[in-house]
Amino acid sequence: MAPAHPRADQPADRNLAPAAASRIWFHLDDVIPLAAHAASTPSHGLTSAQLLARAPLMPALAWEATLDGDRLISNGQPGWFDADGNPHAARGRTWVGPRYGTIAPALDEVGFLPVRGMPGSTFHLVDWLQQAAAGGAHWLNLDITHRRPVIGPSGLAVSDQRGDLYPPGATWAEASVACVPATGGGLYPALVADGYASNRGGVLARFDRDTAARMVDDLQRARAHQPGFHAVLRWAGDRIEVYTENTDGLTGLRRYDVVGPDPDGRYPIGAYLWPWLCMDNLL
């Protein structure tokens, strides 16, 4: 069954124009475990987002815009903490740069996202996210253009392909890039956004169709003949599907992104997921 949400059935956002400052993008692999944690824990703690929303105590995620960027955390108790003692968080994936910083419009803002419906509502965020992922979605975006203390269905959308990929007015420079964790030793010509990087590490790179096709072929050969992990790319019409190994003990591959051509016909493969590095100064 398709997710019961007025925007969930829209086609993937293929508008790769400069980012609107009001949309924050999260990968569903990061968000769904947090939502499941909030939905399944026996009790829940107060958060500043809930207090500002004057909402009842209930399973929820809290959105926070901080100096470290946008993040979602669970209010479930017992809490979920990382090895460094900080709350486990799903972090928004965006660019950082000398002029624009991140696309978050302000700092120290919060929002309350009920995981189970507010009184009188039939919308359950955790179910909707899980159904969206089962239907092929990979990205969640929060639209905070007209943000209210409680972020409801009208402020949420999912898609198989990420939008808002490039910094406004970015200058693009030619470079040779590599991403050893995903592509092994392959070196590829690209255009990179001068002075910008992903907040997850690496430059913002986009590739012409011939280079994208070579990358698809290289990774297929590597998976067949070289030991170790290799990402897999497959054509689906004019788009490229990105696969990784299953991490749950099952055999086979799991799709976790879809990349289409931008208005210039270039492919931002691995954007905000793979740490592409410029190699020109290292060779």
Whether 13 maps to a domain, the answer reads: no
Question: How many structural domains are present in the chain?
Answer: 2
Going by pLDDT thresholds of 50, 70 and 90, the confidence category of residue 33 is: very high
Whether 2 maps to a domain, the answer reads: no
Whether 11 maps to a domain, the answer reads: no
Which is it for the CA torsion 245, 249, 250, 254, positive or negative? negative
Q: Are both 188 and 71 inside the same structural domain?
A: no
When the pLDDT of each residue in the chain is averaged and rounded to a whole number, the result is: 86
**Nearest-CA neighbor of 180 among 282, 275, 283?**
275
Q: Are both 149 and 200 inside the same structural domain?
A: no
Q: Are both 271 and 183 inside the same structural domain?
A: yes
Q: Are both 36 and 151 inside the same structural domain?
A: yes
- pTM metric for this prediction: 0.86
Q: Are both 150 and 75 inside the same structural domain?
A: yes
Q: Are both 194 and 222 inside the same structural domain?
A: yes
Cα gap 128→36, rounded to integer Å: 11
Q: Are both 192 and 151 inside the same structural domain?
A: no
Q: What is the dihedral of CA 247, 253, 255, 259, to 10 degrees?
A: 120
Q: Are both 145 and 76 inside the same structural domain?
A: yes
Whether 18 maps to a domain, the answer reads: no
Distance, CA of 120 to chain centre = 30
Last residue of a domain, one of 111, 135, 159: 159
Q: Are both 98 and 125 inside the same structural domain?
A: yes
Task: Please enumerate in sequence order all residues whose Cβ is within 8 A of that of 14, keeping only pairs 6 or more positions apart, or say none.
Answer: 161, 163, 260
Q: Determine contact, residues 257/242, Cβ cutoff 8 Å.
A: yes
Whether 262 maps to a domain, the answer reads: yes
Q: Are both 116 and 217 inside the same structural domain?
A: no
Q: Are both 178 and 268 inside the same structural domain?
A: yes
Give the domain extent around 68: 23-159
Whether 189 maps to a domain, the answer reads: yes
The 10s digit of each residue's pLDDT in 178-203 is: 998 888 778 999 999 999 999 989 99
Cα gap 4→135, rounded to integer Å: 12
pLDDT score of 283 more than 50: no
Range of weakest confidence among 8-12, 41-45, 205-209: 8-12
Cα gap 10→181, rounded to integer Å: 33
The 10s digit of each residue's pLDDT in 44-79 is: 999 999 998 899 999 999 999 887 889 999 999 999
247 or 283, which is more confident: 247
Whether 233 maps to a domain, the answer reads: yes
Last residue of a domain, one of 113, 134, 159: 159
pLDDT score of 14 more than 70: no
Section 103-121 average pLDDT: 73
pLDDT over 70, % of the chain? 84
pLDDT score of 17 more than 50: no
Last residue of a domain, one of 159, 182, 202: 159
Cα gap 142→211, rounded to integer Å: 33
The 10s digit of each residue's pLDDT in 256-282 is: 999 999 999 999 999 999 999 999 865
Q: What is the dihedral of CA 77, 78, 82, 86, to 10 degrees?
A: 60
pLDDT over 90, % of the chain? 64
Whether 214 maps to a domain, the answer reads: yes
Q: Are both 178 and 155 inside the same structural domain?
A: no
